Structures are given as C-alpha cells and as structure tokens.
Amino acid sequence: LLLLLVFLIGTQHPPPLNEYMPLDTRRKLLAVVALIIFILSFTPSPVS
C-alpha cells in the first residue's frame, strides 16, 4: 500500500517558499498545544 502511494504521489515535492523564515509565535503556540494534546491522549498500554 505504501509503495502504491509513493508511486501515485511521487517523490518530487516543490520546495518551501522560504525555508529560512523562522516560525512566528502563533505557530509555535499551536505546535505546543498539539504536543500537549498528543501527550494527554497517549495510552501507554492498549485499551482492552
């Protein structure tokens, strides 16, 4: 399945518009919130 996706999508992607521009505060805050949600919803052992 993964090989099919790689074949259909391809391995060539357009470059970022400006890869040297640092992230602004809003995007950093969004990343921290997403990480906190991931940590809080992580289950160390499967639910049985």
Question: Could you tell me the residue ranges of all domains in the chain?
Answer: 1-42
φ/ψ bin of 45: left (φ > 0), alpha (ψ from -120 to 50), beta (otherwise): beta
pLDDT in tens, 23-39: 899 999 999 999 999 99
Half-sphere exposure at residue 42, Cβ-oriented, CA atoms within 13 angstroms: 7
> Could you tell me how many helices (H) and strands (E) the chain has, helices first?
2, 0
pTM given for the model: 0.55
Confidence of residue 1 (pLDDT cuts 50, 70, 90): confident
Query: How far, in Å, CA of 2 to CA of 23, rounded?
Result: 31
Query: How far, in Å, CA of 1 to CA of 9, rounded?
Result: 12
